[in-house]
Amino acid sequence: MPNIKSAAKRMRQNAKRQAANRASRSALRTAIKKTRRAAEEANVEQAVSQLAQTLGVIGKTAQKGLIHKNKAARDASRLTKKVNALQAKSAS
């Protein structure tokens, strides 16, 4: 346990931030999994709507600094590519 008041406050802040970061990272992973699952099940409408939500979550987590901007771009690109391929396949 910290002996200094400011160190105790720092611990409380860090614990609060850690919980928020863990929740955001979990929400990101869940959103990505949902989009992938919808694409794999060939559910075009669900995949498209889920992609829009997921891209928002990816952007927010990158903006907060939870994930690197290049990882955000890579994830967004891969998901978009997967959903676009699904749309093209269903259209033809």
Task: Please list the alpha-helical segments (H only) found in the chain.
Answer: 5-40, 44-64, 69-91
Fold that domain 5-91 belongs to in CATH: Methane Monooxygenase Hydroxylase; Chain G, domain 1 (1.20.58)
- Global pTM reads 0.87
For the record, the structure tokens of 12 come out as 């409380």
pLDDT digits (tens, 9 = 90+) for 52-77: 999 999 999 999 999 999 999 999 99
In the chain, the amino acid numbered 5 is K
pLDDT digits (tens, 9 = 90+) for 12-39: 999 999 999 999 999 999 999 999 999 9
Tell me the C-alpha distance between 11 and 47, whole Å: 41
Average confidence score pLDDT of the chain: 96
The full set of domain ranges for the chain reads: 5-91
**60 DSSP 8-state letter:** H
pLDDT digits (tens, 9 = 90+) for 39-53: 999 999 999 999 999
Tell me the C-alpha distance between 60 and 78, whole Å: 17
Using an 8 Å Cβ cutoff, are 67 and 61 in contact? yes
pLDDT at 92 over 80: no
